[in-house]
Amino acid sequence: KRFAIFASGSGSNAETIWQAIERGDLSGECVLLVTDKPEAKVLERADAYHIPSFSFTPKAYVSKRDFEEEILVLLQALRVDYIVLAGYMRLIGDVLLEAYPSHIINIHPSLLPAFPGKDAIGQALDASVDVSGVTIHYVDAGMDTGPIIAQREVDITGCDRQEATRRIQAAEHALYPYVLHEVFNQQEVFK
Ligand code: GRF
Protein backbone atom coordinates (compact mmCIF):
# COMPACT_ATOMS: atom_id res chain seq x y z
CA LYS A 1 0.00 0.00 0.00
CA ARG A 2 0.98 3.61 -0.57
CA PHE A 3 0.58 5.94 2.38
CA ALA A 4 1.17 9.48 3.63
CA ILE A 5 2.23 10.39 7.16
CA PHE A 6 0.73 13.49 8.78
CA ALA A 7 2.73 14.91 11.70
CA SER A 8 3.08 18.18 13.61
CA GLY A 9 6.06 17.62 15.89
CA SER A 10 9.26 15.77 16.42
CA GLY A 11 8.43 12.81 14.22
CA SER A 12 9.94 10.00 16.26
CA ASN A 13 7.05 7.72 15.26
CA ALA A 14 7.42 8.69 11.62
CA GLU A 15 11.11 7.85 11.81
CA THR A 16 10.50 4.38 13.26
CA ILE A 17 8.06 3.73 10.40
CA TRP A 18 10.66 4.76 7.81
CA GLN A 19 13.29 2.64 9.57
CA ALA A 20 10.97 -0.39 9.51
CA ILE A 21 10.46 0.06 5.76
CA GLU A 22 14.23 0.25 5.22
CA ARG A 23 14.76 -2.91 7.30
CA GLY A 24 12.08 -4.73 5.29
CA ASP A 25 9.80 -5.19 8.32
CA LEU A 26 7.00 -2.99 6.96
CA SER A 27 5.80 -3.57 3.44
CA GLY A 28 4.25 -0.35 2.30
CA GLU A 29 5.51 2.78 0.61
CA CYS A 30 5.53 6.16 2.34
CA VAL A 31 5.13 8.61 -0.53
CA LEU A 32 4.56 11.87 1.36
CA LEU A 33 4.92 13.61 4.69
CA VAL A 34 2.33 16.31 5.42
CA THR A 35 2.88 18.79 8.23
CA ASP A 36 0.88 21.76 9.47
CA LYS A 37 4.00 23.12 11.22
CA PRO A 38 6.61 24.35 8.73
CA GLU A 39 9.24 24.47 11.52
CA ALA A 40 8.59 20.94 12.81
CA LYS A 41 11.57 18.64 13.34
CA VAL A 42 9.78 15.87 11.42
CA LEU A 43 10.66 17.73 8.19
CA GLU A 44 14.39 17.22 8.79
CA ARG A 45 13.79 13.56 9.51
CA ALA A 46 11.77 13.21 6.29
CA ASP A 47 14.64 14.70 4.29
CA ALA A 48 17.06 12.21 5.84
CA TYR A 49 14.87 9.35 4.57
CA HIS A 50 14.25 11.04 1.19
CA ILE A 51 10.51 11.32 1.84
CA PRO A 52 8.89 14.19 -0.11
CA SER A 53 7.06 16.63 2.12
CA PHE A 54 4.28 19.17 1.97
CA SER A 55 4.13 21.74 4.73
CA PHE A 56 1.38 24.28 5.07
CA THR A 57 0.22 27.01 7.43
CA PRO A 58 -3.43 26.49 8.36
CA LYS A 59 -3.89 30.21 9.03
CA ALA A 60 -3.15 30.96 5.39
CA TYR A 61 -6.43 29.24 4.45
CA VAL A 62 -9.99 30.39 4.99
CA SER A 63 -11.06 27.03 6.40
CA LYS A 64 -10.07 23.43 7.10
CA ARG A 65 -12.02 22.44 3.99
CA ASP A 66 -9.71 24.61 1.87
CA PHE A 67 -6.43 23.11 3.06
CA GLU A 68 -7.78 19.57 3.11
CA GLU A 69 -8.94 19.95 -0.50
CA GLU A 70 -5.43 21.04 -1.46
CA ILE A 71 -3.92 18.08 0.42
CA LEU A 72 -6.42 15.71 -1.20
CA VAL A 73 -5.30 16.75 -4.69
CA LEU A 74 -1.75 15.81 -3.71
CA LEU A 75 -2.79 12.50 -2.13
CA GLN A 76 -4.78 11.54 -5.22
CA ALA A 77 -1.95 12.52 -7.56
CA LEU A 78 0.37 10.27 -5.55
CA ARG A 79 -2.25 7.47 -5.44
CA VAL A 80 -2.19 7.34 -1.64
CA ASP A 81 -4.20 4.46 -0.13
CA TYR A 82 -3.82 5.26 3.57
CA ILE A 83 -3.25 8.30 5.78
CA VAL A 84 -1.13 7.58 8.87
CA LEU A 85 -1.31 10.16 11.66
CA ALA A 86 1.81 10.35 13.83
CA GLY A 87 1.45 13.26 16.22
CA TYR A 88 -0.76 15.33 13.89
CA MET A 89 -2.30 17.78 16.34
CA ARG A 90 -5.45 18.57 14.41
CA LEU A 91 -8.82 16.90 13.87
CA ILE A 92 -9.29 15.44 10.40
CA GLY A 93 -12.20 17.11 8.59
CA ASP A 94 -14.96 15.91 6.29
CA VAL A 95 -12.99 16.27 3.07
CA LEU A 96 -10.37 13.69 4.05
CA LEU A 97 -12.74 11.51 6.10
CA GLU A 98 -15.04 11.15 3.10
CA ALA A 99 -12.17 10.50 0.68
CA TYR A 100 -10.50 7.91 2.97
CA PRO A 101 -13.21 6.05 4.92
CA SER A 102 -11.57 3.49 7.28
CA HIS A 103 -8.23 4.36 5.68
CA ILE A 104 -6.97 6.91 8.22
CA ILE A 105 -5.05 5.54 11.22
CA ASN A 106 -3.88 7.29 14.39
CA ILE A 107 -1.69 6.44 17.36
CA HIS A 108 -2.52 7.81 20.79
CA PRO A 109 -0.45 7.56 24.00
CA SER A 110 -3.09 6.08 26.33
CA LEU A 111 -5.40 3.10 26.57
CA LEU A 112 -8.41 4.66 24.88
CA PRO A 113 -11.14 5.45 25.75
CA ALA A 114 -9.15 6.63 28.79
CA PHE A 115 -7.38 9.99 28.45
CA PRO A 116 -8.30 11.19 24.94
CA GLY A 117 -7.11 14.55 23.62
CA LYS A 118 -4.04 16.57 24.49
CA ASP A 119 -1.33 15.48 26.95
CA ALA A 120 -2.62 11.96 27.52
CA ILE A 121 0.53 11.05 29.45
CA GLY A 122 0.07 14.01 31.81
CA GLN A 123 -3.58 13.06 32.25
CA ALA A 124 -2.59 9.49 33.20
CA LEU A 125 0.00 10.76 35.69
CA ASP A 126 -2.48 13.20 37.23
CA ALA A 127 -4.94 10.32 37.64
CA SER A 128 -2.18 8.26 39.36
CA VAL A 129 -2.87 5.15 37.28
CA ASP A 130 -0.30 2.35 37.40
CA VAL A 131 -0.98 1.15 33.89
CA SER A 132 -1.42 3.30 30.81
CA GLY A 133 -0.40 2.45 27.28
CA VAL A 134 -0.78 2.98 23.58
CA THR A 135 -3.77 2.72 21.22
CA ILE A 136 -3.81 2.50 17.44
CA HIS A 137 -7.22 3.20 15.93
CA TYR A 138 -9.10 4.17 12.81
CA VAL A 139 -9.97 7.86 12.68
CA ASP A 140 -13.48 9.22 12.69
CA ALA A 141 -14.78 12.75 13.18
CA GLY A 142 -14.30 12.64 16.96
CA MET A 143 -11.24 13.27 19.10
CA ASP A 144 -9.50 9.86 19.49
CA THR A 145 -12.82 7.99 19.21
CA GLY A 146 -12.63 5.69 16.17
CA PRO A 147 -12.60 1.86 16.15
CA ILE A 148 -9.59 0.40 17.97
CA ILE A 149 -7.14 -1.73 15.98
CA ALA A 150 -4.58 -2.58 18.67
CA GLN A 151 -3.53 -1.63 22.18
CA ARG A 152 -0.50 -2.26 24.36
CA GLU A 153 -0.31 -1.72 28.11
CA VAL A 154 2.63 0.10 29.66
CA ASP A 155 3.42 -0.01 33.39
CA ILE A 156 4.02 3.53 34.65
CA THR A 157 3.88 2.80 38.38
CA GLY A 158 5.92 5.42 40.23
CA CYS A 159 7.17 7.03 37.02
CA ASP A 160 7.87 10.72 36.68
CA ARG A 161 6.82 12.40 33.46
CA GLN A 162 10.13 11.79 31.73
CA GLU A 163 10.19 8.07 32.48
CA ALA A 164 6.48 7.57 31.67
CA THR A 165 7.03 9.34 28.34
CA ARG A 166 10.11 7.23 27.61
CA ARG A 167 8.26 3.97 28.26
CA ILE A 168 5.14 4.93 26.33
CA GLN A 169 7.11 6.20 23.35
CA ALA A 170 9.15 2.99 23.30
CA ALA A 171 5.86 1.04 23.15
CA GLU A 172 4.61 3.29 20.34
CA HIS A 173 7.77 2.79 18.33
CA ALA A 174 7.54 -0.99 18.68
CA LEU A 175 3.82 -1.24 17.95
CA TYR A 176 3.09 1.25 15.14
CA PRO A 177 5.25 -0.19 12.34
CA TYR A 178 4.10 -3.71 13.21
CA VAL A 179 0.39 -2.83 13.20
CA LEU A 180 0.69 -0.81 9.99
CA HIS A 181 2.28 -3.81 8.30
CA GLU A 182 -0.64 -5.97 9.42
CA VAL A 183 -3.26 -3.44 8.31
CA PHE A 184 -1.64 -2.75 4.93
CA ASN A 185 -1.34 -6.47 4.29
CA GLN A 186 -4.87 -7.16 5.55
CA GLN A 187 -4.02 -9.61 8.28
CA GLU A 188 -5.96 -9.83 11.52
CA VAL A 189 -4.75 -7.58 14.28
CA PHE A 190 -5.79 -8.61 17.73
CA LYS A 191 -6.07 -6.30 20.68
C1 GRF B 1 3.00 10.50 20.11
O2 GRF B 1 3.01 10.26 21.48
C3 GRF B 1 1.66 10.17 19.53
O4 GRF B 1 1.03 9.11 20.17
C5 GRF B 1 0.90 11.44 19.78
O6 GRF B 1 1.83 12.46 19.53
C7 GRF B 1 3.14 11.99 19.81
C8 GRF B 1 4.01 12.26 18.62
O9 GRF B 1 5.37 12.04 18.91
N10 GRF B 1 -0.30 11.47 18.99
P11 GRF B 1 6.44 12.04 17.70
O12 GRF B 1 6.28 13.36 16.96
O13 GRF B 1 6.15 10.87 16.83
O14 GRF B 1 7.77 11.95 18.36
Domain that holds residue 40: 2-110+135-153+169-184
Kindly state whether residue 179 falls inside one of the protein's structural domains: yes
Catalytic, 108? Answer yes
Is there an atom of ligand 1 within 6 Å of 177 CB?
Answer: no
Q: How far is the CA of 1 from the centre of ligand 1 (A)?
A: 23
The domain that holds 61 is classified in CATH as: 3.40.50.170
Kindly list the averaged pLDDT for each block of 10 residues, start to end, along the chain of length 191: 98 98 98 98 98 98 98 98 97 98 97 98 98 98 96 98 98 98 79 42
CB 180 within 8 A of CB 170: no
Q: How far is the CA of 84 from the centre of ligand 1 (A)?
A: 12
What is the sign, positive or negative, of the torsion defined by CA atoms of 122, 136, 148, 84?
positive
Is there an atom of ligand 1 within 6 Å of 7 CB?
Answer: yes
CB 105 within 8 A of CB 140: no
